[in-house]
Amino acid sequence: MRILVVEDQERIASFVEKGLKEQGFVVDMSDNGDDGYALAMTEPYDAIVLDIMLPGRDGLSILKNLRKKGFGVPVLLLTARSELDERLEGLNLGADDYMTKPFYIEELIARLHTIVRRSTGEATHILKVGDLTMDMVNRVVMRGDEEIRLTMREFSLLEFLMRSPGRVMSRMQICEHVWNYTFDPDTNLVDVYIQRLRKKADQGFSEKLIETVRGVGYRIGKPQ
């Protein structure tokens, strides 16, 4: 998942960024409300972690404007204060969840999975395409009864494809969501990792799940 974190306290920002990246998230960071709002308006994120007290625009005004303009991206608010009125205001403005500092990174990650699943209509933390299943919490991938061992980046790529079964993902979309890179038409990075996934998840199985759509990109599973 691609996450935007808007947090001005360097120690907390570093702690959150490190913890999310270790779990395979793609993370963009901003230390002020103005830049964070600009990123939220222009980049495709699966969720936003948003501090309330920020230099420039504050978190609640960012949230209010995002919802006013029709952006439904899940938002988890961070606050150093525990006043009920502030939490209620955030939830009334359209926040999906909130956490009070200090917090455990494991809880933040669990809550991010929850609000993203809720927003996409996924009922559980299990993704399934054919006989391929992915447990996003325990980070286990199975093809039938066989466990498929993946690197962190391979897991992120497979998760991105499995979140939209049957949908063709361009190399540009894959680069942006899995590597957080601006797409370079001369790179074969995506193709190399797709081949690695095929060797692990498709090779030796009668049904091939990962398909190349020539001139467009890749998809997993058949079109719906």
Tens-binned pLDDT, residue by residue, of the chain (224 aa):
899 999 999 999 999 999 999 888 889 999 999 999 999 999 989 999 999 999 999 999 999 999 999 999 999 999 876 666 777 888 888 999 988 888 889 889 988 988 888 876 654 578 889 999 998 777 899 999 999 999 989 998 999 899 888 889 998 889 888 887 766 767 788 999 999 999 999 998 989 999 999 888 999 998 76
Between CA 173 and CA 179 the distance in angstroms is 10
Does residue 154 sit in helix, strand or coil? helix
CB–CB of 28/39 below 8 Å?
yes
Strand order from edge to edge, sheet including 210-213: 169-170, 217-220, 210-213
Measured at the CA of 43, the angle between CA 155 and CA 79, to 5 degrees, comes to 85
Measured at the CA of 104, the angle between CA 100 and CA 110, to 5 degrees, comes to 95
Beta partners for 210?
Answer: 220
Between CA 132 and CA 12 the distance in angstroms is 37
Q: What CATH number has the domain spanning 126-220?
A: 1.10.10.10
Superfamily of domain 2-120 in the CATH hierarchy: Response regulator (3.40.50.2300)
**What residues does each domain of the chain span?**
2-120, 126-220
Among 115, 92, 109, CA closest to 46: 115
What is this structure's pTM?
A: 0.65
User: 10 Å Cβ neighbour count for 22?
Assistant: 11
CB–CB of 177/217 below 8 Å?
no
